[in-house]
Amino acid sequence: MKWPPKSLLVALVCSCALSPLRAADAPGPAGARAWGMANTSVTVADRFAVFNNQAALAGLTQTSVFTTFDTYYGLEGLNAFSIGAVKNMRKNWTMGASVTRLGDKLYSQTTLGVASAHTVGKISLGAKLSYFQVNFGTLNISRKTLVAELGATAQITNTLTFGMHLYNLNQAQLFGYQRERLPTVMKAGVSYRPITKLLLAAEVEKDVDFPTRFKAGIEYEIAPNVFVRTGLNTQPNTNHVGFGLVAGSLTFDYALHTHPQLGWSHHVGLSYDLSKKTK
């Protein structure tokens, strides 16, 4: 069977080891704030922790709804759209839900997940269970499975935070006859806030099938409610920049990252807090 050129191009990019997305892969990191900091997100307590490390949700006290849109390398077949919501249920307990759709009619991934996080002292634990479906439209093939995630954060000092996260704890697989599994990805990192306006983060990520990745990111508040961000990754070497604006209950984030072979990607996020933040 002859594939349309567009479908073949998307499949090649998805299967490229240098790309952060592969065919039948897990959804990529979510949130323009995270992308602007080179995805050093394992310790960051923001609403997008529902995607990146559910344990960090325990630091939130407000109800929020949010969305993000990602365009990878100028290919429409790799566009991703996510929506989510988080709610503080009671002291030290936060719930979240998320939906992500990547791809088009030729190839797509859809993920629906529910997350929970709880804090005990200075330790936060989080978990997420997701329904994951992949569709190969050109081949009329669809597969689905359940994926489990587990995360933890620890407040070492007032300025230093440690976090870790494991994706695909249950070793979910899509094609039993080929033992085709979703990747198992482990992350661990620290963030340091020497002053209120500055956040420094570093992280190590290991996909069991690929080399270890090292990440470093910075966020700085250059003016009240105006943030600039930058960072870099290895394996492959990618550069990241971004900014964020907060206006009352509304937050807007944008990030850009470059890939040495595949080019530019853009990330836009919009969030709205339905309840006032508590101190």
pLDDT tens for residues 202-260?
A: 999 999 888 999 999 999 999 999 999 999 999 889 999 999 999 999 999 999 999 98
pLDDT at 1: 38
pLDDT at 30: 86
For residue range 79-122, list pLDDT tens digits in order: 999 999 999 988 889 999 999 999 988 889 999 999 999 999 89
Give CA–CA dist 233/240, Å, rounded.
Answer: 8
Q: What H or E segment, with its residue span, contains residue 28?
A: none
Give CA–CA dist 274/249, Å, rounded.
Answer: 7
Give CA–CA dist 259/19, Å, rounded.
Answer: 8
Is residue 17 within 8 Å of residue 211, measured between CB atoms?
Answer: no
Which domains occur in the chain, in start order? Answer: 5-273 (2.40.160.60)
Six-digit token pair at 7? Answer: 């479908």
Residues facing 254 on adjacent strands: 243, 268
**AA letter at 102:** L
Nearest to 30 by CA among 44, 14, 47, 51: 51
Six-digit token pair at 9? Answer: 């191009």
Give CA–CA dist 184/170, Å, rounded.
Answer: 9
Looking at residue 50, the DSSP 8-state letter turns out to be H
What is the pTM assigned to this prediction?
Answer: 0.86
Radius of gyration of the chain (CA): 18
